[in-house]
Amino acid sequence: MPYSTITTLNDSQRIIETRPPTARLGSSACLKHNSDSCPLGEGGMLKKRFGQHFLSDPRILQRIVKFAKLSPNDTVLEIGPGAGSLTRELAATVSRVIAVEIDRDLIPQLRQDLPANVEIVEGDALQLDFVALAGNRFHVVANLPYNVATPLFKRFIEFRKSIADVTVMIQNEVAERIVAKPGADAYGPLSVLIQYYAQPAFGFVVPPGAFRPKPKVDSAVIRLEWRPGVADARDFTDFVHNAFGSRRKKLVNNLLHMYPRIPRSQLLSDIARAGVAENARPENLSVTDFERLYNQICRH
C-alpha cells in the first residue's frame, strides 16, 4: 500500500503530499427510540430520530454568537436551526444566514418567522455542497445534533478552504475529547484528527436545563480555527486511528499488529528515530509525534 509523506516545516505550517482523499462519510444514521417524537409545545413536535434538543436560553444564545467573533458583513452557515432561536441571534449580527434543516415539518414555520436575511435550506448537511449554498467564504455556527456531530466535523474539514472558522455546541464529552492534550484520559483519535487540521478552543459548558427537552448530559461550545498549510492526509489519519486500536497496549505492539511484516526491531528503531519513548502508549504522543512516526514508517 503506497503511503504519503508528511514534512513538518514549523509549528504553524505543514505540507502533506498525498493522493486526493476519498470521502467515506456515513449517512445520517439515526438513533433508534421507542417513540419518534415528543412534545415541543408551541410550534410542533420534536423528532428524536434527528437528535433534536432545542436551545432556549437567550443568554447562552448571545454567548455563542459572541464567542463566534462574527462581523456585520459575514455569511454564516447554520446546521440544524430547529426552532430558530440561534438563527435569530445570528441574523441580527451578520448580513446573511443559510440554515440547513433536515426536518421538513419545521421548515414552513421557520420560513414564516425568520428575518429576510435568513435562507432556509431543506436537506441533509452530510450530503449538501456547502460552497454551493454559502459561497467561497463563510463561518459555521450551530447547535449540532448529537448523533451526527463527528461526521459533520469531517465535512467541515473537507470544506475548510471555504469555512473561515467553526463555532459549535456539542456534547461536553466530545468537546473534551477534541481539546484534550496527550496523556489525558479523553485524548484519542478524534483529538489528533481535529488538532492536526485545527486549533480548538473550549468556550463554555451548557447545562441540560438550557434545552427543551432536557438532554441527559452537559453540552459545550467550542471553536475551531484552521491551521495554515495543511493539506488532506487520509493515510495519516487512518494511521492514527489504527495506532489507537488498543489503548492499553504499548504503541510498538499496536504497530506490530498494523504492520506484521515489519520486524519488531525495525519498528522500535522507527519509534526511536521519531523521538518517541520505546514504552510509549498511543495516548502519550502529540500530533507532531504521530507525524514524525508516520514519516518513519511510511518509508518502508
d(CA 238, CA 244): 10
Q: Which cell goes with 69?
A: 467573533
What's the pLDDT band for 160 if we cut at 50, 70, 90? very high
Region for 59 from its dihedrals, namely left if φ exceeds 0, alpha if ψ lies in -120 to 50, beta otherwise: alpha
Q: Residue 61: give its domain's CATH number.
A: 3.40.50.150
Name the residue range of residue 246's domain.
233-297
CATH number reported for the structural domain that contains residue 288 in this entry? 1.10.8.100
Instruction: Supply φ then ψ for residue 13, to 5 degrees.
Output: -140, 135
The strand pair at 138-143 and 44-47 is best described as unpaired
Residue 28 falls within a domain, yes or no? no
Q: Label the pairing between strands 54-55 and 211-212.
A: antiparallel
Please indicate, yes or no, if residue 86 is contained in any of the structural domains: yes
Q: Is 202 found in the same domain as 54?
A: yes
Tell me the per-residue pLDDT of 257-272, one tens digit each, with 9 for 90 and over. 999 999 999 999 999 9
For the chain, give the mean pLDDT: 85
140 and 199 belong to one structural domain: yes
Preceding amide of 58 cis, omega within 30: no
Rounded Cα distance between 178 and 52, Å, is 22
Say whether both 103 and 160 belong to one domain: yes
Assess whether 154 and 246 both reside in one domain.
no
Does residue 180 share a domain with residue 63? yes
The whole-number average pLDDT for the span 149-170 is: 97
- Determine, yes or no, domain membership for 87: yes
Q: How far apart are CA 158 and CA 7, in angstroms?
A: 21
In this structure, the answer to whether residues 144 and 207 fall within a common structural domain is yes
Considering its fold, how many domains does the chain have in total? 2
121 and 262, same domain (yes or no): no
Same domain, 45 and 139: yes
C-alpha cell at 40: 415541543
Residues 285, 173 share a domain: no
pTM confidence score: 0.83
Each residue's pLDDT tens digit, 23-73 = 332 333 222 233 344 333 334 444 444 445 678 889 999 999 999 999 999
